[in-house]
C-alpha cells in the first residue's frame, strides 16, 4: 500500500503531501487539484513500463504538466520538480 504521496511541481500541485490510508476521499472546491492528485498517481505506473516521455505525451506534453511556479521562483530560478512514493513492504 502507498503510505505517502508527495508531489512537487506537477500541474497545480506546487508542493503537496498526502498521507495515504486504505481509503482516501478527496474533497475540495472546483479547481483545487483533486484530479491532479489522481493523475499524479496514474502517471507513475504509466511511466515505469514504457517511459516518461510516453506518459507525458499522453497528457499533452511537458508544458501541460509542469507547475510554472510563482513569479519569485521563476525570477530566482529555484523551481524544482520531484515525486516520491512510499509504500509498505510486504511482510514475508
Q: What is the pLDDT of residue 85?
A: 53
Give the phi and the psi of residue 17 in degrees, each rounded to 5: -130, 130
> Which of 35 and 79 is assigned the larger pLDDT?
35
User: Residue 28 domain-assigned?
Assistant: yes
| Domains of the chain: total | 1
Position 7 in a domain = yes
In a domain, 81, yes or no: yes
Would 23 be classed as within a structural domain?
A: yes
- Whole-number Å distance between alpha carbons of 10 and 82: 8
Q: 46 in a domain, yes or no?
A: yes
Residue 36, in any domain of the structure: yes
Residue 92 forms part of a structural domain: no
Domain limits for position 47: 2-87
pLDDT band at 70 (very low <50, low <70, confident <90, very high): low
Rounded mean pLDDT, 9-25: 87
What's the whole-number mean pLDDT along residues 49-60? 85
Confidence check: pLDDT of 69 > 70: no
Amino acid at each position: 500500500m502507498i503510505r505517502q504521496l508527495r508531489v512537487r511541481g506537477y500541474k497545480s500541485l506546487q508542493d503537496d503531501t498526502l498521507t495515504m490510508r486504505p481509503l482516501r476521499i478527496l474533497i475540495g472546491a472546483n479547481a483545487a487539484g483533486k484530479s491532479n492528485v489522481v493523475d499524479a498517481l496514474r502517471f507513475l505506473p504509466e511511466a515505469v513500463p514504457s517511459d516518461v516521455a510516453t506518459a507525458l505525451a499522453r497528457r499533452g506534453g511537458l508544458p501541460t504538466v509542469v507547475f510554472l511556479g510563482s513569479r519569485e521562483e521563476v525570477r530566482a530560478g529555484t523551481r524544482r520538480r520531484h515525486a516520491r512514493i512510499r509504500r509498505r513492504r510486504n511482510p514475508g
